[in-house]
């Protein structure tokens, strides 16, 4: 499969995937990675180097917020992410668009399949 095209699909949808994931409930970095990796067969292995830049961008855009909570015995902390009001509104719009968009793309695929089968 042409890796370049697949890469483009993933790139375009990862921000929405992260918003959905965080929208389900407060979560932190490693848990996000694990959740993504449960679908690694399709998504490929998630890396911090891919996820954190998106988290920074989403937070910079005011779509997610974070709070620090102490964790572990060594004085470390975990950063918990959640959606802001703006994030929830944006995600709602994105989800609606995604539904229309994927149906539209599927329409092209279906038409192509039907044409192929009739030949």
From residue 69 to residue 108, the character string flagging contacts with another protein as x (rule: CB under 8 A) and all else as - is --xx-x-xxxx-----------------------------
Does 30 contact another protein by CB under 8 A? Answer: yes
Classify the C-alpha dihedral 29-35-36-41 as positive or negative: positive
Name which of residues 47 to 76 contact another protein (CB under 8 A): 47-49, 52-54, 56-57, 60, 71-72, 74, 76
Strands, E assignment, the chain: 27-28, 64-71, 76-83
Minimal distance, residue 111 CB to another protein, in Å:
38
Classify the C-alpha dihedral 46-18-51-82 as positive or negative: negative
User: How many degrees, rounded to 5, is the angle at CA 58 between CA 53 and CA 61?
Assistant: 125
* 58 vs 91, beta carbon nearer another protein: 58
Question: What's the rounded Cα separation, in Å, for the pair 71 and 57?
Answer: 25
Binding site for another protein (CB under 8 A): 28-30, 47-49, 52-54, 56-57, 60, 71-72, 74, 76-79
């Amino acid at each position: 499969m042409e890796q370049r095209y697949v890469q483009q699909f993933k790139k375009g949808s990862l921000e929405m995937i992260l918003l959905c994931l965080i929208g389900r409930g407060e979560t932190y970095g490693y848990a996000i990675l694990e959740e993504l990796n449960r679908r690694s067969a399709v998504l490929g292995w998630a890396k911090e180097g891919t996820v954190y830049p998106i988290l920074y961008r989403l937070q910079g855009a005011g779509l997610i917020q974070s709070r620090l909570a102490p964790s572990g015995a060594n004085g470390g902390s975990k950063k918990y992410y959640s959606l802001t009001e703006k994030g929830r509104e944006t995600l709602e719009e994105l989800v609606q668009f995604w539904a229309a968009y994927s149906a539209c793309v599927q329409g092209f695929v279906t038409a192509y399949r039907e044409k192929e089968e009739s030949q």
